[in-house]
Structure 1
Amino acid sequence: MRIMNVPRGLQLQIYEKHATIDNTLIVIVDIIQLGGKRQYMEREQPQRTWQALLADLIDNSRERQRIAQQVRVRPITLQRWANLTSRPRDEHIDRLLSAISRESYQEFFQALKKDYPTLIPAHQQIHKISPEIPAEFYDRVLSACAMTSPFLYFQTICELILQQAIEHLDPDRCGMAINLVSCVKPLLGGKVRSLREIAGMGTPPWSRNIGQHTSFLGAESLCGAAVVQCRIVSIQDRNEPNPIFPAHWVTNEQSAVAYPLLRQTRVAGCLLVSSAHPYTLTEIHCEVIKRYANLLALAFAPADFFDTQEIWLQLMPPYEEQILYFQNFRQRVNERMWVGANGGPLLTYQDAQESIWLEVEEELLQHQATQQARVDQYR
């Protein structure tokens, strides 16, 4: 690289233009002096190998662990690839590419393609899945419906179907999350104002049991659109300009499909399927998602379903702003149970939970209204 001497005190604006010639990155630097233009050249940088890029990525221990988990190798294996002491097997290449973050993806793909010329970008890969749910699985669901006690019924049916669904929809574990979203039951005579994630499963980069982390969704979400319109809705790329539907995007989510949970045209919530890559949820995926959503509707009681006229979804704040309201949830439920045990209204644990969730919903709606008022004040 040539080092240029620039007069001290000179006010400059610098622009870089990139071009690739014979696999060498040429960077042309334009230095514009106020009052006149002088063009300087020239910096040459060899294009970095994928091993060098990988070494930078796994320098962060958390990122190293995440990539290793998604590729299904040990972290030391990634270090050997980066150090050129070993090469990944063919089955590891697609997983490695799928594990790279969006910010580093394009550069990494171009470097990796030099060693693997037939490589296809992750978002262009067609992950073939069976368009049908296995017949024997329907038998398992019906048997569970018949033989499971009321106390365990909802959890058993949901876990059974979600586990089958994630294995069916993402057999290569390329990165998918499935969330079961329900309407938040209103007080008697009220309208449904929000939805809540109540169960879920995922493949890396998501954790296996993502249902442990709840969140409220409303009119700003893809789930909200599916519930209100009672039909399947999807966004194939979170970065597409002017999307038809709203979305409440979370980390790692690049595309999503939502399908309502229906019974006799009434709706109880929706099934949300998210992918870590854009354009991977095909028409076949959508058809399979619809069938699993119809199965999951069996887990809900008749009182969990609502006419669309009974639903009036409001805007909910981003998940990051909701977390604070969940921190003492268990404590609040226990306190509500204690009141019932000491002369107050007797409640089951489920009733106490639903009561506190309604209070949290109201707190979040008030929070969102306050935030919106502040925005409007400065317009």
Structure 2
Amino acid sequence: MNREAFSWRSFLAEIISDPQEKQRLANAMGINPVTLTRWVRNPARASGKEKYPRPQIHSLQQLVASLPEYREKLIPSLLQEFPELSREDFQLPETPPRFVEPLSIPVICYETVLQAISLLAGELRFITVFDHIFNYAIQQLDPERLGLVGSLIVCTAPGSGQKVHSLRELFRIGTRPWNTEREERNIYCGAESLAGQAISTSHHYVIEDAHAYTGWLPLRPLDRGSSIAVCPIQRTGKVAACLSFISTQKRFFTRDRVQLIQKYCHLAVGAFDENQYFPLDQIELKLLPPPEKQEPYLRLFNKRVQELLLQGKAITRMEASFIVMRQLEEELIQSAALDEAVY
């Protein structure tokens, strides 16, 4: 697209043809993705002339700020369509900060999450809430795409009369070098992990440089990461899960970033049913083996569920999955105990 023919609306239409990029841009600008579509859709006709929707000046400034690499192409096109504006309206501060700490969750995130909590139930509510939360949180925390991944780690439901002995990382999503789509994990962890410490104490923790860390906090090796922050999801003295974020950058998790993660944890409370929260005195985490040693066990999960269903017992697939999940938990705890005994 040459400079003379460049149109900011046509260019924006190309960008938002990718749904993921459309959502990312909307998040960065703090607007609804539908608004971007309105700006580029076929214009209405007024007095025989085509008439596009007119964005507010602040929105145009946000558009330019959110696409800094295209700044010098966007501004001339915007000035041509809106002659009342000047280049000064898009002027950068003399000493722009490298990153403006995000202190608040966008209103659109609150709206979408609370709507999901109100209208949906069960697994659909759960997945929808956390898809929204991770989408907005990662965009806010890592707008420069330096490398960040967020994980949801939940308490493994215990048997009747038993305590919580393990946690499970259900899924993760991030920016590169991690997967940018939701990645199912189902990895067990426990007392050997920072997530385990956060859930057992109902407190958040940050490690600024994992490779040089020699402190007392439990820490598994970080997958391609240098720093980590973990915050529990809690309600009236009970804990259900935690959000874990790993960054490729050392000392990434400033106080403001940790406070933002905590706000997302508060927003996530409604994703869980009441029986998924456990008082601290009912949490007694055991040691679990590292992920690579769990893989042979987890690979057989679906096969074991199917075998259980074929035994003819009157149980649902969900009930069979719960039974196998607890069987695997016990087997992995025993495996970790044997490894400890050897060493």
TM-score by length of 2: 0.69
Segments of structure 1 that go 5 or more residues without pairing to the other structure are: 1-89, 92-124
Percent identity over paired residues: 31
Counterpart for residue 335 of structure 2:
367
Counterpart for residue 100 of structure 2:
128
User: Structure 1 236/136 Cα, relative in aligned 2: closer, same or farther at 3 Å?
Assistant: same
* RCO higher in structure (CA 8 A, sep ≥6): 2
User: Structure 1 250/337 Cα, relative in aligned 2: closer, same or farther at 3 Å?
Assistant: farther
Cα deviation for residue 333 of structure 1 reads: 1.6
The alignment status of 1:257 with 2:225, answered yes or no, reads no
The count of aligned residue pairs is: 249
Counterpart mapping for 1:56-71 below 5 A:
none
Deviations 1:264-313 (A, max 9, x none): 11001211011112111111110010011111221111111100000101
User: Structure 1 318/168 Cα, relative in aligned 2: closer, same or farther at 3 Å?
Assistant: same
Counterpart mapping for 1:309-348 below 5 A:
309-339=281-311, 342=312, 344-347=313-316
Distance in 1 (CA, whole Å) between partners of 2:123 and 2:99 is 38
Q: Which one-letter code corresponds to 1:300 in the other structure? A: F
Instruction: Answer with 1 or 2: which has the greater Rg.
Output: 1
Deviations 1:122-158 (A, max 9, x none): xxx9643321001232122111112224452111112
Distance in 2 (CA, whole Å) between partners of 1:288 and 1:346 is 42
136, 140, 148: which one aligns with 2:120: 148
Counterpart for residue 149 of structure 2:
177
SS of equivalent residue, structure 1 residue 214: strand
Deviating above 4 A after TM superposition, structure 1's stretches of 4 or more consecutive aligned residues are none
Counterpart for residue 319 of structure 2:
351
User: Structure 1 174/143 Cα, relative in aligned 2: closer, same or farther at 3 Å?
Assistant: same
Segments of structure 2 that go 5 or more residues without pairing to the other structure are: 1-67, 70-96
SS of equivalent residue, structure 1 residue 200: strand
Instruction: Confirm or deny: 8 A CA contact 2:210 2:222 kept in the other structure.
Output: no
Cα deviation for residue 210 of structure 1 reads: 5.1
Distance in 2 (CA, whole Å) between partners of 1:214 and 1:345 is 26
Instruction: Confirm or deny: 8 A CA contact 2:198 2:205 kept in the other structure.
Output: yes
User: Structure 1 276/329 Cα, relative in aligned 2: closer, same or farther at 3 Å?
Assistant: same
166, 176, 179: which one aligns with 1:204: 176
User: Structure 1 255/262 Cα, relative in aligned 2: closer, same or farther at 3 Å?
Assistant: same
Counterpart for residue 267 of structure 2:
295
TM-score by length of 1: 0.63
Instruction: Confirm or deny: 8 A CA contact 2:163 2:283 kept in the other structure.
Output: yes
